[in-house]
Structure 1
Amino acid sequence: MITIHLHGPEAGAETALQAKPGDTLMQVAVSNNARGIEADCGGPATCATCHVYVREPFASQLPPPQDDEASMLEFTAAERRPNSRLSCQITLTEAMDGLAVDLPASQH
């Protein structure tokens, strides 16, 4: 199992979730009713409501966003940062155990 950490915009708001390799970060958050990831489109990178800020060292270890993800990142409700990603496009691997992401204040 992989442990992922979601850090909400409120001070001290952290949720730790368990995931299996092959799941996406979005799938795990939604299936656990985690606050802060809306995932309106369900995962095909067409809505930008699963925007997260990936913390290091994981941000630099992820492959760069594909064109569709990069395009959708232009439409996030919260500020886009260099470590912005769509959680639907982050497929979890065992090497990502301990992954930590910050959630934006709003997805809409």
Structure 2
Amino acid sequence: MMFGKDRYVFVYNQTKETFLGVRVKVGDSFLTRLVGLLGKRSLPANSGLWIVPANAIHTIGMMFSFDLVLIDKNFKVVGLREMVRPFKITRPDFHAESVIELPAHTIYH
């Protein structure tokens, strides 16, 4: 079985004209969506995980809090959740097509 190389994107806030992440991993395969951030102790600054497709997440087994950005099919922000704590399940947002997990305190910085 072969696995492709990791892919990364940047996340830019057009309203504030600032980058939220410059090395955000694309999680669009079964394996990357399954593993997510499990086993990580933190998210380094300017990094993150973009989970496609997704409209909710769980943090069961996580060791740290993070910020969550919910994105629609047109790449518009439809929801923000600051400091999502470990061992939680977020409520689905049916307008969202994907979610971006970023280091804590990134979205309102």
Instruction: Settle same-fold status: TM greater than 0.5.
Output: no
Higher normalized helix content (fraction of residues): 1
TM-score bucket of the superposed structures, by smaller chain: 0.3 to 0.5
Q: More relative contact order in 1 or in 2 (CA 8 Å, sep 6+)?
A: 1
- TM-score of the superposition, structure 1-length normalised? 0.34
- TM-score of the superposition, structure 2-length normalised? 0.34
Higher normalized strand content (fraction of residues): 2
